[in-house]
Amino acid sequence: MGEIIEIHEELECRTFRIGFSVTGEERIVSIDPDKQELFCSQEIRTLRPMACPFLRQDGNNKFVCSVHMSRPELCRQYFCYRILVLDTEKNRIGRVNDASRYFTTSDENLRRLWNQEIAGIPIQKEDDWEEYVEQTLTRAGYLVER
């Protein structure tokens, strides 16, 4: 999501104007009151350089959205995704959750392809894995956002 959601401006303390690079839409989000301190931590930038600028890892190593209460509609519908898979009519049919390799889809063909060609592929580096996933799905005719 780091390539999709970008911070355009900090409007006031911990309130941001953000934009979706794909659609050009803008939204206003605020850091949740109970996540102010967590938001200051920048460790996620090292762990997941491509993650959404509002994703953070809490003390239990759980990934959380620091603007959960004001998160954009796109996130409300699909939660944060690392990779979104669309069919040729641009219907969203699968996703990999942000900061994970966990894949969900209800499309049988896509699930089959994932299981045959992607699940368990021994690629350690996250960027290389994402690249492999994108190439594999694109080759099969799907559209990929990441």
Asked if residue 80 binds ligand SF4 (CB under 6 A), the reply is yes
d(CA 39, CA 22): 25
d(CA 90, CA 142): 9
* Binding to ligand SF4, residues 56-75 (CB under 6 A): 65, 67, 71, 75
Q: Which is nearer to ligand SF4, 52 or 85 (CB)?
A: 52
Beta sheet of 81-86, edge-to-edge order: 103-105, 92-97, 81-86, 143-145
Asked if residue 54 binds ligand SF4 (CB under 6 A), the reply is yes
Q: Of 16, 31, 35, 55, which lies in the binding site for ligand SF4, with binding defined by CB under 6 A? A: 55
Which residues of the chain form contacts with ligand SF4 (CB under 6 A)?
1, 5, 52, 54-55, 65, 67, 71, 75, 79-80, 98
